[in-house]
A = this chain, B = another copy of it.
Amino acid sequence: MSDLHPEVEAANSRFYRAFEALDLARMEAVWSHGEHVSCVHPGWPLLAGWPAVRDSWSAIFSNTEEMRFTLSDVRVVAAREIAVVTCTENILSGVAGRIAVTSVLATNVFERSPDGWRLILHHASHVLGGG
């Protein structure tokens, strides 16, 4: 199954590049748009279904000035139809004029579509007392 890893890692990178670009159209292209998609931003409640997930990115992008990700601990488990990436997001962000550096643990689940791997779950959470 390891031959799938490069394309899954590429899909994972596209997600973070879209996030850094604060570009809703690029983020829309990363995700599946089904009812089965879900998203947990750090500390947020569960968002289920594409409309709620899309609205969250729109809100985050509207309130973020800058966001730079360096990933570490990237691990991929990939099968033919579903792939799971776990990683540590080392984040440099600017919100309301304040620069912050944080570490967030993320699980990203991708589903193979005719157009390639699409994100169906992003679960991100803080380490308490860390980052």
Contact = CB atoms under 8 A, between A and B. Distances in A.
A78 to B, nearest CB: 8
A72 to B, nearest CB: 10
Contacts of A84: 82, 84, 109, 120-121
Contact of A75 (B48, B77, B79): B48
Interface of A: 1, 36, 38, 40, 42-46, 48, 73, 75, 77, 79-84, 86, 88, 105, 107, 109, 111, 120-121, 123, 125-130
| Most chain B beta-carbon contacts within 10 A, residue among A43, A46, A88, A125 | A125
Nearest to A131: B45
Contact of A79 (B79, B105, B125, B130): B79
Contact of A125 (B81, B125, B130): B125
A44 B128 CA distance: 7
A10 to B, nearest CB: 19
Given A77-B120, A82-B82, 16 more contacts: A36-B77, A38-B75, A38-B86, A40-B105, A40-B125, A43-B126, A44-B128, A45-B130, A46-B88, A79-B82, A80-B80, A81-B81, A82-B84, A84-B84, A107-B107, A123-B123
